[in-house]
Amino acid sequence: MTYSIPKALEILERTPETLNALLLGLSDDWIHNNEGDNTWSPFDVVGHLIHGEKTDWIERTNIILSDSENKTFKSFDRFAQFEASKGKTLDQLLNEFSELRAENLKKLKALQLTESQLDLKGTHPELGEVTLKQLLATWVTHDLGHIAQIARVMAKQYKDEVGPWEAFIPVLNR
């Protein structure tokens, strides 16, 4: 599928609702367990998504669209959520994410980006030159990847309980 803002918005607008439907009201066993050392719980993932809303997608869009000659992005701290989420509840995180996402989508729509603007470039500190279209397409796939991650982490909480059906449930072995 070719990237388009209307198609991207179909996903980006639904992510907060999807996370709320999946996670609100669940016990701590569902939201705070992970897959083992150096893995993230659903709680951690929501914190990570919040950090992205604050420091990544719109900030980097603005860098690409700026008149500045230096269009290099700041490095993204993929682990900032661990400190930023301390002392918060999942409900607080989900509310914060929903509010930030709504603000960012309002900003994105207000830009009224043209096809030629989507081809403008910025510099990622690790990946090098990237286009605005690539950045915005990554926003969508980033959401979907983390929704899948949350579902996988949750499914694995019952990995030892499903018995022989494990052979028919591929998500338990990823």
**Cβ-based burial of 150 (10 A; exposed 0-12, middle 13-18, buried ≥19):** buried
What is the model's pTM? 0.95
Which amino acid appears at position 27 of this protein? Answer: S
Residue 18 scores a pLDDT above 90: yes
How far is 24 from 90, CA to CA, in rounded Å?
Answer: 8
- 143 with 10: CB under 8 angstroms? no
- Token pair listed for 34: 């992970």
* Domains with residue ranges and CATH for the chain: 5-173 (1.20.120.450)
The string of pLDDT tens digits covering residues 41-88 is: 999 999 999 999 999 999 999 999 999 999 999 999 888 898 889 999
